Amino acid sequence: MDPIANLAVNTIRTLAIDAVQKANSGHPGLPMGSAPMAYVLWHKYLKHNPRDPKWPDRDRFVLSAGHGSMLWYALLHLTGYDLSLDDLKAFRQWQSRTPGHPESFMTPGVEATTGPLGQGTGNAVGTQWTLGKSGLEPHRQGE
């Protein structure tokens, strides 16, 4: 892994460790273990625009592991979405923009509210079905 990618992965991990520790709640394991995969996915493959989180032709990222949501929040913060370091420090706090289970109406870049375990599968299938019905095509590698 090149030095910049390594720094990015370790930054994701560190943000997750610090936020979970400060909140005294959540699970750092998912962000720590998934940071390399998530970095590659977000950096090389996902088509998104932090300045326009609702851009119709964006790729959708659904994470159905609410307690591991610091992975998502760290990625959003590091890729330029309107999510500050102070927002990350308020992880899992009452009325925070970074709740323990992501809420689509609270955090820019969060596509779906993920509530109960397993709900992400339904969200992902529903999102794909809706894209198909709308005439939008999903992003394919190399496009």
Average pLDDT in the 86-111 region?
92
Q: Is the pLDDT of residue 95 over 80?
A: yes
Identify whether the C-beta of residue 109 lies closer than 8 Å to the C-beta of residue 76: yes
Q: Is the pLDDT of residue 142 over 70?
A: no
Nearest alpha carbon to residue 11 among 69, 64, 74: 74
Average pLDDT in the 48-55 region?
94
Q: Is the pLDDT of residue 141 over 60?
A: no
Q: Is the pLDDT of residue 132 over 80?
A: no
pLDDT the model gives residue 85 = 97
**φ, ψ for residue 73, nearest 5 deg:** -65, -40
The separation between the first and the last C-alpha atoms of the chain, rounded to the nearest angstrom, is: 24
Average pLDDT in the 54-69 region?
83
Q: Is the pLDDT of residue 127 over 90?
A: no
Strand boundaries in 8-107, DSSP class E = none
Question: Which range (6-20, 33-47, 59-73, 108-122) has the least confidence?
Answer: 108-122
Q: Give the pair of three-digit tokens for residue 55.
A: 């851009």
Question: Which range (29-33, 53-57, 69-73) has the least confidence?
Answer: 53-57
Identify whether the C-beta of residue 93 lies closer than 8 Å to the C-beta of residue 23: yes
